[in-house]
Amino acid sequence: MTTIEGSVALVTGGSRGIGRALVSALYERGAKKVYATARDPRTVTHPDAVPLALEVGDPASVAAAAEQAQDVTLLINNAGASVNASFLDAPVEDVRREFETNFFGPLLVTRAFVPVIERNGGGHILNVHSVLSWLGVAGSYSASKAALWSQTNSLRLDLRPRGIEVTGLHVGYVDTDMTAKIDAPKVTPESVAAQALDGIEAGAFEVLADDLTRQVKAGLAADLSALYPQLAA
């Protein structure tokens, strides 16, 4: 099992929203050091965090970050984009851009840090998904998060023999900038961060951080019309 106390963590997208809450929660639970990444590291506000420049879709930026953070034992792939491009109407490049950030970004970061975590005696990776991993209602965003879910499941099998556990975090509406214009019940970033770290320490394969996510996951075994009522019309 992974212990947060004394760990060295790296959180991508660590300057706002869930990422910022995760940085704070890690320190509250006794992490020794937390690298908080952002495109502009000056936006990292936690007084104890180590700001680190990172563009997850840029292999050179990822390699530079891994070179600087050679003591990491816990990697949290949180950075993401929300383009929601329509498969029929949006430019295909918009779809590609979403996948570059939400699928290939975590893949590049994971590939760079697995050797680091291994050299440090093993550890843990947390990938931040979405309830939309299981609901195809947001175009390219849903597809990219579904692909990340599959990536996480594959990596869990590949990395366990190498001493690295993998947890997937699924969330619905979280009270962040990304959902500011959405009128729906929301959970706080702090609640999501606490549940995520609980899951890491418990060795959970998945963390379902709110009622909506738990309802949708439970409905995956039902007929598709249960998740997509318009199909029953």
- Catalytic residues, which ones? 141, 145
The one-letter amino acid code at 8 reads V
39: Cα separation from own chain's centroid: 16
Q: By the 8 A CB rule, do 210 and 35 touch?
A: no
**What CA–CA distances, in Å, run from 84 to 128, 164, 213?**
17, 32, 19
**Paired tokens of 65:** 């970050």
**Helix 189-202 vs helix 17-28: crossing angle, to nearest 10:** 50
